C-alpha cells in the first residue's frame, strides 16, 4: 500500500492544485498506482503520468477525462457503482469466512473455503497484481505491488487465505482514501477560476458588445457596471471610480481610482459605471498571472519520494532473491532435501517480509498527529507536511486577516483644540451614514446611536476625497486631507503624519479633528511571534499589500523585525523565492486569494480557515481553522511529537521483522510468528500512535 503518510498522497493533492486554464480536470502525477496501471490509456486517474517533458508546453489534452467534465467523482474501482462497493463485499466475505473458520463449520473447507477467500481476494487484489505486471515494461519491477502480490499469493499458497485477503483489502481502502482527496481538490480548485470574469462589455462604434475576455483586443473600451468584475487590465477613462481590490491585494479597504490610473482584472467596481481602456491581453492580466503562479509554484514544490517506495527499491529485490535462494540453495547443501518443505519456508519468509506492518506503522503515527492537530483546530492536508512543519526555520506571514483581524474599526478619536469630541463624532458619523465605504461604515459603527435622528441633507460625494453635506444645519466635511485642502480648510501639519487610514472632519469651514481607522492585530498575534521565535524559527517576515507605513507599525508592535508593504502577489512570490534560494525551509501564512500563489510556492502553505478565501484554503497544505496565528507554533509541537512516534514505530517494525525473518529462514518460524511479525507489530504501532492523542499540546 502506498504510504498515506508519504509524498504519494500529498503528490496527489499538490498536483491536483495545479491550474490548467484550458482543462481543470487534467491531473499530472508521477507516482504509479494500481488505478493508473489498470487504466493506461489516458484516463484521468490517480497515478497516470501525462507529465510533459522538461521545458515543453503542457498538453492541454494530457490526462483528459473521457467522462463527463463535471464528473470528478467517477469510480476508479470495479464496475460503475460506488468505489467502496467491492471492498465492502470483500470485507464482508473476509469477516464471515473468519467466523465460519472459528465455529468450525463443516461445509466451509477445501475448495469451498478457497473459492470463498479467492473471490474476496480478487475483488480488491486484481488491480494490484495487474499494476505489478504493467510496471514491468518501464523497468519498475521491484516495487510494493510486486512484493504485495507475491506475499499475498504466497499466503494463499500455504493456506493462510484470510491473511492474503486482509493485506489486499487494507491496501485498496488506502487507495480509495487517496482518490477521494484528489477528487475533492479537483472540485475546489474551480473556486480559483471563478474569480475571472467570463464575459466583458466592449463599446465599439457607439454600441455595446458582450464578448469573452479572450476576444477583446488591446485598446478596446471596456464598460464595467457597479458590482461587476473587471475582466482585463486597463486604464480608467471615467473621472473616478471605487474598486474592491481584495482579489489582488488581499486588503479590505477599497481603492478609489482617478482617470488615467491603472485598473486590474479581478477588481470589482463598487458604485458608478466605469469605462476602462484595455491595456493587456487576457493571458497577460494580473489575475491570469496569479493563476499561473499557483500552477508554476506547485510545480516547483520539492517532491520527496515516499518512504515505502524508496525502501521497496532495495528491500523488495533482496527479499525476493533471498526467498528464491531459500528454495534453491539447500538442494546443493542439505541431505534429504524436500522441495515442499523448503518452498514452505520460502513462502513463510515472503509472508513475514510483507511490508504491511511497516506500512501500517508509518501512517498510524501520522494519523494520530493529524487527529491531535484537528482537535486543536489545525487541518493538515497530508502527513508529509507534519515532517516539513518540524523542519521549518522561516515563517513569512501576510498582515490583513492573518496577523490582524481583517475588520476596520476606529482606533483613535482626536478632536481639534477646544473642539467637543461628542460633537465631532455626532456630525461626522451622521454624514458618514450616507456612504457605503467600509471606512465610513467603521465610523458609523463606532459612533452608534449618536448618529441616528440627525438631519442630513445636500450630501455630495467627492470621488477620492470624501463627503460634503449639511448636518443639523451646519456645513460638514468628512474624508481625507485632500478634501480639506480642496475647500481651503487649514489643519495641523501633524495630521499628514498619521500612519493609519484617517477620516478628517471640518465644521463650518473650520478643522474639527480626525478619527483613525485601522485593522487591529489579533489578540494572540504577538504571542504567536514570541512562540515561533522561542521554537527555533530564526526568520520572521511580514509581507503585505497594505501601505508600507502601516505594515511597519504593525510589525514593530508585534515584534517582527522584517516587514515589507505595498506588495502585489508577484512581489510576495519574489521575496519567498529569494528566501528559498538562500536554502531556508519556509512556511507562508495567508488568507486572501492574492496569497494563493505564495502559499503554493512555500514548502508549507498555511491558510487561515475562517477568514481565508476558498482558493487559498484549498491551495494551502495546512489550514488554521480557528484563525489563531499562535496555532502555527502548536502545529510545530504536534509535528515533533508525531515524528518521534513514527520513528519509534518504524524501528519497532524493522526490529521485529528482522528477527522473525531470520527465524523463518531457519525453519524456526511458522505462520503464527509470521502473523505476529505483521499483525502483532501493527497492533503495537496502533497502541503507540494512540499516545499522540493523549498528549496535551
CATH number at residue 564: 3.40.50.1000
CA distances from 306 to 30, 31, 312, 371, 454 (A): 12, 9, 10, 21, 68
Asked if residue 29 belongs to a domain, the reply is no
Answer for the pair 590, 556: CB distance below 8 angstroms, yes or no: no
**pLDDT at position 8, please?**
39
Q: Are residues 554 and 544 in the same domain?
A: yes
Given 398, 519, 603, 621, which residue is catalytic? 398
Distance CA 655, CA 81 (A): 42
**pLDDT at position 354, please?**
64
**pLDDT at position 271, please?**
82
Q: Are residues 445 and 317 in the same domain?
A: no
Q: Are residues 358 and 388 in the same domain?
A: no
Q: What is the pLDDT of residues 467-488, one digit of tens each?
A: 999 999 999 999 989 899 999 9
* Residue at a domain's end among 450, 485, 520: 520
Instruction: Provide the residue range defining the domain that includes 457.
Output: 405-520
CB neighbourhood size of 269 (10 A): 22
Backbone CA torsion sign across 667, 671, 674, 676: negative
* SS3 annotation, 589-605: EECCHHHHHHHHHCCEE
Q: pTM of whole model > 0.85?
A: no
Q: Are residues 507 and 413 in the same domain?
A: yes
Answer for the pair 241, 261: CB distance below 8 angstroms, yes or no: no
Q: Do strands 510-521 and 378-380 pair parallel, antiparallel, or not at all (unpaired)?
A: unpaired
Asked if residue 504 belongs to a domain, the reply is yes
Asked if residue 324 belongs to a domain, the reply is yes
Q: Are residues 515 and 409 in the same domain?
A: yes
Q: Are residues 187 and 217 in the same domain?
A: no
Which alpha helices (DSSP H) does 214-355 contain, by range? 246-249, 286-299, 307-333, 339-353
CATH number reported for the structural domain that contains residue 278 in this entry:
2.70.150.10
**pLDDT at position 238, please?**
92
Which cell numbers hold the place of 80? 460503475
Q: Which positions of the chain have pLDDT values less than 70?
A: 1-81, 142-144, 147, 171, 174-196, 246-253, 286-313, 351, 354-361, 363-364, 592-594, 609-616, 618, 665, 670-672, 674-676, 678-680, 682-683, 686
CB neighbourhood size of 12 (10 A): 26
**pLDDT at position 181, please?**
41
Asked if residue 11 belongs to a domain, the reply is no
Q: Are residues 207 and 350 in the same domain?
A: no
Which cell numbers hold the place of 226? 457597479
CB neighbourhood size of 652 (10 A): 17
* Residue at a domain's end among 486, 520, 554: 520
Distance CA 135, CA 149 (A): 13
Is position 398 annotated as part of the catalytic site?
yes
Give SS3 for 116.
helix
Q: Are residues 538 and 511 in the same domain?
A: no
Closest Cα partner for 14 from 384, 290, 287? 384
Asked if residue 9 belongs to a domain, the reply is no
Distance CA 259, CA 394 (A): 42
Phi first, then psi, for residue 394 (nearest 5°) are -140, 135
Give SS3 for 372.
helix
Q: Are residues 501 and 525 in the same domain?
A: no
Q: Do strands 240-244 and 268-269 pair parallel, antiparallel, or not at all (unpaired)?
A: antiparallel
Q: Are residues 525 and 515 in the same domain?
A: no
**pLDDT at position 12, please?**
35
Q: What is the pLDDT of residues 8-35, one digit of tens each?
A: 333 333 333 333 333 332 323 233 344 4
Distance CA 448, CA 426 (A): 9
β-partners of residue 243 are: 255, 269
Answer for the pair 297, 237: CB distance below 8 angstroms, yes or no: no
Which cell numbers hold the place of 497? 503624519
CA distances from 435 to 254, 381, 463, 506, 568 (A): 13, 42, 11, 17, 28
* Residue at a domain's end among 608, 636, 664: 636
Q: Are residues 409 and 515 in the same domain?
A: yes
Q: Are residues 529 and 392 in the same domain?
A: yes
**pLDDT at position 53, please?**
36
Distance CA 437, CA 305 (A): 51
Asked if residue 77 belongs to a domain, the reply is no
- Overall number of domains in the chain: 5
Amino acid at each position: 500500500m502506498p504510504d498515506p503518510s508519504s509524498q504519494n498522497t500529498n503528490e496527489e493533492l499538490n498536483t491536483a492544485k495545479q491550474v490548467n486554464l484550458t482543462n481543470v480536470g487534467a491531473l499530472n502525477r508521477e507516482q504509479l498506482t494500481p488505478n493508473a496501471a489498470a487504466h493506461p490509456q489516458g484516463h484521468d486517474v490517480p497515478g497516470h503520468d501525462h507529465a510533459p517533458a522538461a521545458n515543453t508546453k503542457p498538453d492541454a489534452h494530457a490526462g483528459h477525462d473521457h467522462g463527463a467534465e463535471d464528473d470528478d467523482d467517477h469510480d476508479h474501482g470495479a464496475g460503475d457503482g460506488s468505489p467502496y462497493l467491492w471492498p465492502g463485499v470483500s470485507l464482508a466475505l473476509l469477516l464471515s469466512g473468519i467466523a465460519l473458520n472459528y465455529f468450525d463449520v463443516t461445509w466451509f473447507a477445501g475448495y469451498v473455503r478457497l473459492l470463498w477467500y479467492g473471490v474476496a481476494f480478487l475483488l480488491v487484489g486484481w488491480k494490484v497484481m495487474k499494476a505489478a505486471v504493467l510496471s514491468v515494461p518501464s523497468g519498475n519491477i521491484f516495487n510494493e505491488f510486486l512484493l504485495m502480490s507475491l506475499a499475498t499469493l504466497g499466503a494463499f499458497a500455504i493456506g493462510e487465505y484470510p491473511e492474503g485477503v486482509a493485506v489486499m483489502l487494507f491496501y485498496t481502502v488506502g487507495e480509495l482514501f487517496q482518490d477521494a482527496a484528489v477528487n475533492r481538490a479537483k472540485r475546489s480548485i474551480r473556486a480559483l477560476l471563478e474569480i475571472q470574469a467570463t464575459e466583458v462589455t466592449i463599446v465599439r462604434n457607439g454600441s455595446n458588445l458582450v464578448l469573452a475576455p479572450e476576444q477583446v483586443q488591446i485598446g478596446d473600451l471596456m464598460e464595467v457596471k457597479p458590482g461587476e468584475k473587471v475582466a482585463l487590465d486597463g486604464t480608467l477613462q471615467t473621472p473616478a471610480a471605487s474598486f474592491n481590490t481584495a482579489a489582488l491585494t488581499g486588503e479590505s479597504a477599497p481603492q478609489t481610482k482617478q482617470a488615467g490610473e491603472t485598473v486590474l482584472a479581478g477588481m470589482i467596481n463598487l458604485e458608478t459605471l466605469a469605462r476602462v481602456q484595455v491595456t493587456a491581453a487576457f493571458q497577460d492580466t494580473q489575475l491570469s498571472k496569479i493563476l499561473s503562479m499557483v500552477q508554476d509554484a506547485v510545480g516547483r514544490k520539492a517532491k520527496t519520494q515516499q518512504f515505502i517506495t524508496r525502501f521497496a527499491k532495495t528491500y523488495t529485490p533482496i527479499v525476493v532473491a533471498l526467498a528464491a535462494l531459500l528454495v534453491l540453495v539447500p538442494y546443493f547443501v542439505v541431505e534429504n532435501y524436500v522441495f515442499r518443505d523448503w518452498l514452505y519456508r520460502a513462502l513463510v519468509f515472503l509472508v513475514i517480509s510483507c511490508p504491511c506492518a511497516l506500512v501500517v506503522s508509518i501512517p498510524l503515527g501520522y494519523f494520530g498527529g493529524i487527529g491531535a492537530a484537528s482537535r486543536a483546530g489545525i487541518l493538515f492536508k497530508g502527513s508529509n507536511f507534519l515532517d516539513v512543519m518540524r523542519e521549518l526555520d522561516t515563517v513569512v506571514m501576510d498582515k490583513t486577516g492573518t496577523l490582524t483581524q481583517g475588520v476596520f474599526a476606529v482606533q483613535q478619536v482626536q478632536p481639534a483644540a477646544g473642539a467637543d469630541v461628542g460633537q465631532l463624532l455626532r456630525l461626522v458619523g451622521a454624514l458618514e451614514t450616507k456612504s457605503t465605504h467600509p471606512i465610513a461604515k467603521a465610523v458609523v459603527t463606532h459612533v452608534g446611536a449618536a448618529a441616528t435622528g440627525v438631519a442630513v441633507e445636500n450630501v455630495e460625494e467627492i470621488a477620492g476625497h470624501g463627503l460634503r453635506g449639511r448636518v443639523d444645519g451646519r456645513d460638514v466635511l468628512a474624508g481625507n486631507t485632500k478634501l480639506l485642502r480642496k475647500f481651503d480648510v487649514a489643519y495641523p501639519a501633524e495630521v499628514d503624519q498619521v500612519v493609519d487610514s484617517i477620516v478628517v472632519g471640518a465644521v463650518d469651514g473650520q478643522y474639527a479633528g480626525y478619527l483613525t481607522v485601522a485593522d487591529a492585530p489579533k489578540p494572540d498575534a504577538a504571542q504567536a511571534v514570541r512562540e515561533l521565535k522561542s521554537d527555533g524559527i530564526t526568520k520572521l517576515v511580514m509581507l503585505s499589500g497594505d501601505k508600507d507605513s502601516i505594515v511597519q507599525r504593525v510589525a514593530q508592535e508585534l515584534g517582527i523585525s522584517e516587514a515589507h508593504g505595498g506588495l502585489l502577489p508577484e512581489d510576495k512570490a519574489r521575496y519567498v523565492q529569494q528566501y528559498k534560494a538562500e536554502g531556508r525551509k519556509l512556511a507562508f501564512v495567508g488568507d486572501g486569494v492574492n496569497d494563493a500563489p505564495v502559499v503554493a510556492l512555500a514548502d508549507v502553505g498555511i491558510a487561515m480557515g475562517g477568514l481565508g478565501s476558498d482558493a487559498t484554503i484549498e491551495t494551502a497544505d495546512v489550514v488554521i481553522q480557528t484563525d489563531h496565528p499562535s496555532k502555527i507554533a502548536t502545529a510545530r509541537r504536534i509535528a515533533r511529537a508525531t515524528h518521534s512516534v513514527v520513528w519509534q514505530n518504524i524501528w519497532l517494525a524493522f526490529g521485529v521483522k528482522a528477527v522473525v525473518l531470520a527465524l523463518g529462514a531457519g525453519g524456526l518460524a511458522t505462520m503464527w510468528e509470521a502473523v505476529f511479525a505483521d499483525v502483532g507489530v501493527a497492533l503495537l504501532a496502533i497502541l503507540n500512535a494512540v499516545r499522540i492523542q493523549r498528549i496535551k499540546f
